[in-house]
Amino acid sequence: MSDIDTSAADSLKVLDLEWPIREADMSDHAQSPLADKVDALLIRLQLGNLSKRSLTRLTGGANQETWAFDAIDRANVTPLILRRLSDDALPSEDTVTPECEAHLIRCAGECGVPTATVRHILEPRDNLGRGFISTRIEGEALARRVLRDAAFADLRPRLAFQCGAILARIHAVPLNNLPALRTRFAAEQRDELYETYRSFGGGSPVYELAFRWLRARAPAKPSAPRLLHGDFRKRQSDRRS
C-alpha cells in the first residue's frame, strides 16, 4: 500500500531499526502475554511485528475468541484476525474444530467463494492454543445495521441475490477434498431439535404446531449431501442437505 493511515504512525516511528524488531527493541510496548506471543509468531512467519496497541478483542461466541490486530513491516500495515478456542472451551459435536474451519475456508476460497485468506493455522510451538490467523476484511456483521442504516441503502436491494449466489458456490464445493464433517439431512436435524425441545419439558402449542408443520413438509432425502454455511443454518460449516 502506498499510504499508511495515521493510526499506525506511532508504530512506524521505529522503521529505522533492524527489521523485524526484536523484543529488546520493543521495551516501550505495553504488551500483554498474548500480544508477546502474537508478535513472536508474526516475526517467525516473516509478516513483520505486531503494531503497538492494535490487538483488540472482538465478540467470538461461547467457545471462540476473535482478535483483530495489525502486522507492520517496513512498507505495509496488514490487518489480520486471530481466531482461537477459548481456554475453557468444551468439546462439542455441534462445532467443527478451528483447524477444520480453516481448511474449509481455504477449500471454499479455491472454489470461488469470497473468503478471507487463511495465513496460518496455529501449531503447538506457537503457544497460542488452537486456531488460525486470517486476513481481516472490513465490513458490518450486525444485521440490524445492515437492514436499517442509511449507509447500506444501496446494498439492500442486491443483498439477497448476492447471498444466494454465494450459497450456490458453497453448495457446489466438491466434497472429496473437504476435511471430515458430520453429515446430517433435514429430517434428522428436525428430529434432533425436537428431542432438545422435549428435554426442556415441551408442552408449547406453538412449537408442537411448528414441528408438525415441518414433518408434513419434509423434503425427500437427497441423493448426496452438500456443504452448507453455519450462518444459514444452526452452526458452523457442515456437510448437510
Domain ranges in the chain?
6-135, 140-172
C-alpha cell at 215: 414433518
**For residues 103 and 131, is the Cβ–Cβ distance under 8 A?**
no
Looking at residue 14, its pLDDT comes to: 36
Looking at residue 8, its pLDDT comes to: 37
Looking at residue 11, its pLDDT comes to: 36
> Of the candidates 9, 36, 34, which has an alpha carbon nearest to the alpha carbon of residue 21?
36
Looking at residue 153, its pLDDT comes to: 95
Looking at residue 241, its pLDDT comes to: 36
Looking at residue 42, its pLDDT comes to: 97
Looking at residue 95, its pLDDT comes to: 79
Coil vs helix vs strand at 39: helix
Looking at residue 48, its pLDDT comes to: 95
| The listed CATH number (1.10.150, 3.90.75, 3.30.200, 3.40.50) that belongs to domain 6-135 | 3.30.200
CA distances (Å), origin 67, targets 5, 45, 138:
20, 18, 14
Looking at residue 50, its pLDDT comes to: 96
Mean pLDDT of all residues belonging to the chain = 82
- String of DSSP letters for 89-117: PPP-TTS--HHHHHHHHHHHHHTT-----
Can you point out the beta strands (E) in the chain?
A: 49-50, 56-58, 64-72, 77-85, 118-121, 131-135, 183-184, 226-228, 238-240
Give dist(CA 237, CA 102) in Å, integer.
Answer: 10
H helices of 111-185, in order, are: 143-148, 156-171
Ranges of the chain with pLDDT below 70: 1-31, 60-62, 232-241
Give dist(CA 39, CA 43) in Å, integer.
Answer: 6
Looking at residue 60, its pLDDT comes to: 62
Looking at residue 29, its pLDDT comes to: 43
**For residues 87 and 14, is the Cβ–Cβ distance under 8 A?**
no
Spatial neighbors of 42 by CB under 8 A, at least 6 apart, are 20, 48, 49, 50, 71
> Of the candidates 8, 47, 48, 40, which has an alpha carbon nearest to the alpha carbon of residue 23?
40
- Hey, what amino acid is at 5? D
Q: What is the pTM of this model?
A: 0.74
Angle, to 10 degrees, between the axis of helix 186-199 and the axis of helix 205-216? 160
